[in-house]
Structure 1
């Protein structure tokens, strides 16, 4: 009888230890998963059963510190809370619970937005492999994203003007460079590195807020500075 009691106590103690261990592991795993998701921007590159909308990719972002997500929808932006586990992911509060901007767009864009928001609200699982993120709904539909560089939160910002005209320049080979300046009265200077996330249109001058980061060990023929678009402050058509 004593042996049975002791064995029962040992088994009970072991169960308590295992339960405590599981409680410790699960949050750490979820926290690590959230950090991995938040380390990159994610651009939609495939949507099962649907063609991708034209133009700028639908970009999905995660804020691990606050447990929030946000995404372009092709018309507006939507966002809300998210919950992530080892391979599970849910957006919103179970009843969608998204907050969206309310800009009106052409009917095709609005239809894409509704379908995309519905797809996000139905996501239950995810798979993260290298530079690819695949979201899967309960019915088996998939949204596939490709990682895009996400600047460090504390990287410095600065304002630059971008000319309405590009100029031929020489880098690795013959190429076309942006012309930039920091003040309206300055002379235009060639910018060889490009600006990630920025697509200029001929005949339009821009004022941009850009994020500037140093690149560790860049190739010999590449810039040691990376510029990423943070915000288009203003733009104007330049008459020739």
Structure 2
């Protein structure tokens, strides 16, 4: 059997190889030799600064090579893990969305990967596919994950990591925009702080294509406006009205399909459930 190194595993994933090839590569990762201890393996932050980071689950491969569907929330929310001290920290707190509900807990490094402790979440009911995936994910988080592949960021592609669960599933995460995203550079001198009010639901809008936008305003009695970009660091919960303190900054040389103005969350001033 051909042996795939950690870098080889994620090179297949980053290049968008055909499903059969990628399944074979990740299968070799699952059945190949045990991964190195993280004490000697290259850390993800060798070329990045430390700090909070935000990761999205983009692929779930089962032991037989089949893929689980990863449904998003009602407003397109992905499954997100946000690590307050960064994914390479010895320990810290983790929060995010697990498919249906929001969760919080703690995490810590192990010799071969990562463990999660004291994970608790909200108890909202969702359609069966999301509930089933969430139950499987939370169950998997009860035992440590083994790191079988990592890939530093390259160009517009975020850093990636593949963890193997105790049940031999392979979970692939990619770093996304969010509070403290490593590699994000903000010109603080050219930024401004402002207070914004965010509506309880995102709405359909049209940018380069069909998408969903936040509705925002500068005061409680001002008219609603559309915000087409992300609010970096906001773990948005539908049905909640937010008053936020954000930093607004200009993005140098933004992509053609992205805004040149972005918001980074500084603090949540208030959150109120909509009537």
- TM-score with structure 1 length normalisation? 0.58
- Judge conservation of contact 2:72–2:79 (CA < 8 Å) in 1: no
Query: 2:89 matched to 1:51?
Result: no
Which is bigger in relative contact order (C-alpha 8 A, separation at least 6)? 2
- Judge conservation of contact 2:240–2:273 (CA < 8 Å) in 1: yes
CA distance in 1, matches of 2:107, 2:42: 18
Query: 2:105 matched to 1:67?
Result: no
Spell out, residue by residue over 1:156-184, the C-alpha distance to the aligned partner (whole angstroms, 9 max, x if none): 87531246897999x889x9976533222
CA distance in 1, matches of 2:59, 2:166: 18
Report how far residue 224 of structure 1 moved: 3.9
Query: 2:172 matched to 1:144?
Result: yes
CA distance in 1, matches of 2:203, 2:135: 38
Q: Which of the pair has more CA radius of gyration?
A: 1
Partner of 2:246: 211
- Judge conservation of contact 1:157–1:209 (CA < 8 Å) in 2: no
Partner of 1:236: 274
Q: Number of aligned pairs?
A: 202
Spell out, residue by residue over 1:122-172, the C-alpha distance to the aligned partner (whole angstroms, 9 max, x if none): 411242223232212355311112221123399887531246897999x88
CA distance in 2, matches of 1:80, 1:206: 27
- The alignment yields a C-alpha RMSD, in angstroms, of 4.7
Partner of 1:118: 139
Report how far residue 116 of structure 1 moved: 0.9
1:31-110 correspondence to structure 2 within 5 Å: 32=45, 40-49=53-62, 50-55=68-73, 56-62=77-83, 63-64=85-86, 67-71=91-95, 72-73=97-98, 74-83=100-109, 88-92=112-116, 98-101=117-120, 103-106=122-125, 108=128
Structure 1 unaligned spans of 5+: 1-24, 93-97
CA distance in 2, matches of 1:226, 1:80: 30
SS of equivalent residue, structure 2 residue 136? helix
CA distance in 2, matches of 1:172, 1:37: 34
CA distance in 1, matches of 2:51, 2:259: 26
1:105-184 correspondence to structure 2 within 5 Å: 105-106=124-125, 108=128, 111-120=132-141, 121-129=143-151, 130=153, 131=158, 132-137=160-165, 140-152=168-180, 158-162=194-198, 180-184=216-220
- Judge conservation of contact 1:38–1:61 (CA < 8 Å) in 2: no
SS of equivalent residue, structure 2 residue 274? strand
Report how far residue 46 of structure 1 moved: 1.6
SS of equivalent residue, structure 1 residue 115? helix
Deviates more, 1:154-163 or 1:62-71: 154-163
